[in-house]
Amino acid sequence: MRKILLFVLLLNILFAETAIEQYDSDNNKIFELFADNLDSIDYTTIIATGNAVVISQDMYVIADYIKYDIKKKEANISGNIKFYRDGSLFLRAQKAFVRFDDDYSMIEPFYMQDSKSGIWISASSAKNENDEYEFKNIVVSGCDIDSPIWHIEGSSGYYNQDSAIASIWNPRIYIKNIPVMYLPYIFISTQNKRTTGFLYPEFATSSLDGFVYIQPFFLALQDFWDMTFSPQFRTSRGLGINTQARLIDPFGEMFVLNAGIFWNNDKYKQKYNIENQIVFGFDFSHQRRDLLSDFINFDSDGLYLDFRYMNDLDYIRLQSTKDTTIENRLQTSKANYFATKNDNYFGLYFKYFLDLSKLSNSDTFQTLPQFQYHKSLEQTDIKNIMYSINVSTKNVARSVGFGYFDSSISVPIYFYTPLIADYFTIGANINLNANIISLNNIDEEMSSQNRNSSYFGATYGLFINSDIARQYDKIFHTMGFKASFSSPLYQYFNDNNNVFNPLLSGRYGRLSDVALTNQQIQLSFSQYFFGLNEVELVYHRIYQNINLQNGVEKFDSLRNEFGFIPIENIDIMTTFFYSHVNKNIEEASLSFNARYAYFQGNITYFLKKKFEYSNLILTDKYTEESANFLRIKLSNDFGYFALYGDVGYDFKLRYLRDWNVVISKDIRCFGIGLRFANEIVPILTTSGTQTIRNRFISLEFRFIPVTATSLSYRFKESRQ
């Protein structure tokens, strides 16, 4: 386009005469006029007709007719007017009046389009002064101008070309010729860049919250930081505000802080018996590489922060108008620092757990802090002998109840050697482990000696493994086998509080992963088949542990994994655990995925059984299904519309856990979606966490690239 415009200008220069040239005080040319026909009136007025072109600094105008007053530096322009700036067309009109000295113009009718976003603005008339436009009878859309699918009409408007923000008063939103919404005003940005001002509003309506309106305001005063303030109002619930701050540090890493507060009105609080009338929370995240490497001679180091606090899960739900599904009621905050030097790794971790299923978080264990040291496998002076070191110490505390200090060290030593042309590898290992747990914040009468539990153990092991591969015509096959034997050399326990014993549940529970070690054989086998271009076709993995000194549970559960890709875009994966003791499947999962063109399908099934015994000799058994559910997800774009659906069925409780059906259609600049949903929503009440079965219908309109809105109707909620 730009080359064509330059070519047109060159033709005008070659075949037209220069009517007038004007210069500024520095002798820079600031104005030129070209046309097929030029006439002069009293040497003060120039009339240009036929491909008339005005060039003024960074702007040029093409029209059928231009009348220019030399003294006043004013021009009356008419007939197919096109204004170009920086080589791009930015507005059209039929009549225009331009005052070049004052950067002032009157244009009617007015049409302007942003080339990047595709948003266009038209008006019956427009007044421009210093790149600020005032409109009458404004129309805005991002669709085709001849027959827009959606458009916004307003009585008046304003547009700032520097900030690329348009404001419209009394806007009515139309889909074709049908009005769907009225607002007092609306702000629209025609460019995707950081600019201070109002962002696209979010609005929705539902039978639960009433009419929802969120109006974000974006503050960007400097390049390295910005903030967004989003006050919101929900007519049937209350009001609040959310805030986000983003900061780029001198090293180019981003720090993000979110905070929000919402007040639930008395009627809403009483209706749902909610615990928190005022919902609030905040979260921040930041990560940074090479934090101290310039000051300390580390190979690398890094900091990771992800902290969140809230008094209610509604803090997350109230951040937008969309329905947010939250399945994890245990929110975890982390502050981690690590450093590496040669083969040494150092880590310092803080973890804060927020259990929102309880009225109080005071008895939730927190890790404040944990220190870890790890030395990677290192070759000793003796050939084929390697070792590593693992050290961990952590302080676990809480406001109410006991806490403990946990320290452990592990030193594994390995020997290996290849055999028979590297087809096999044999080896041996010795593992030294020590663990001390000190209880605190407990009964005063307990002596300091009795607060400590300690463990020391040494185990040895032998192993043999083999990895082989063979290339066939179009198939590449690999197999791997490993057998290992482990046995205790020495074990010492000083554990009056039973914090190490997995079989005895003491007052404080089991606080360590240390297990009573017995002689054990571990077997594993894996094989893979690959097709052309190294595409995986089949995999099979199997694991079995044998306890040689356990007469009751001699065999651990058999773990079997299988994956199959029969044709392109279809894969099947399954895993199951078989309990030899219970002679039954302990856990099983199946996943089937299919993709073809615009179709996607997924079926997952999960089963987990729990076996309980009423005596220690494992004779009186009963079985309970702790989980047994199926989920199906299907989606396809049929061209005329797209369809998405998912459903989850709980076989244990024999009911539909949740389901969603979405019918949608996107046509370039416009999208519409109809959603039918049934879901389980947890809420925090005065008697603890309860769940509500939430059934609703939602109709969403997407006005691309401006905004989206939805209308929701919730049926009467039922408590579970």
Q: Which residues, in sequence order, are CB contacts of 42 under 8 Å at separation 6+?
A: none
Q: Give the ranges where 382-482 is alpha helix by DSSP (H).
A: none
The rounded distance, in Å, linking the Cα atoms of 665 and 150 is 14
- Per-residue pLDDT reduced to its tens digit, 212-269: 888 888 898 888 999 999 999 999 999 999 999 999 988 888 999 999 999 999 999 8
Token look-up 């064509």 returns 4
pTM score: 0.67
The rounded distance, in Å, linking the Cα atoms of 150 and 706 is 11
Helix (H) or strand (E) holding 111: strand 104-113
Which tokens go with 531?
A: 């097709």
Torsion, Cα of 447, 448, 450, 456 (10° steps): -170
- Per-residue pLDDT reduced to its tens digit, 424-456: 999 999 999 999 988 887 765 555 556 788 888
Task: Compute CA 137 distance to the chain's CA centroid, rounded to the nearest angstrom.
Answer: 41
**pLDDT above 90 covers what percent of the chain?**
33
Token look-up 């995707």 returns 192
Give me the mean pLDDT over the 24-41 stretch.
Answer: 72
Q: Which residues, in sequence order, are CB contacts of 500 under 8 Å at separation 6+?
A: 435, 437, 453, 455, 493, 510, 511, 512, 514
| 495 within 8 A of 510, measured Cβ to Cβ | no
A 10 A CB-CB count for 212 gives 23
The mean-pLDDT minimum among 114-118, 298-302, 413-417, 584-588 falls in: 114-118
C-alpha distances in Å from residue 142, one per residue of 117, 170, 511, 701? 8, 19, 61, 14
Predicted pLDDT at 635: 96
Q: Which residues, in sequence order, are CB contacts of 200 under 8 Å at separation 6+?
A: 187, 188, 189, 216, 706, 707
Domains of the chain: 2-214 (2.60.450.10)
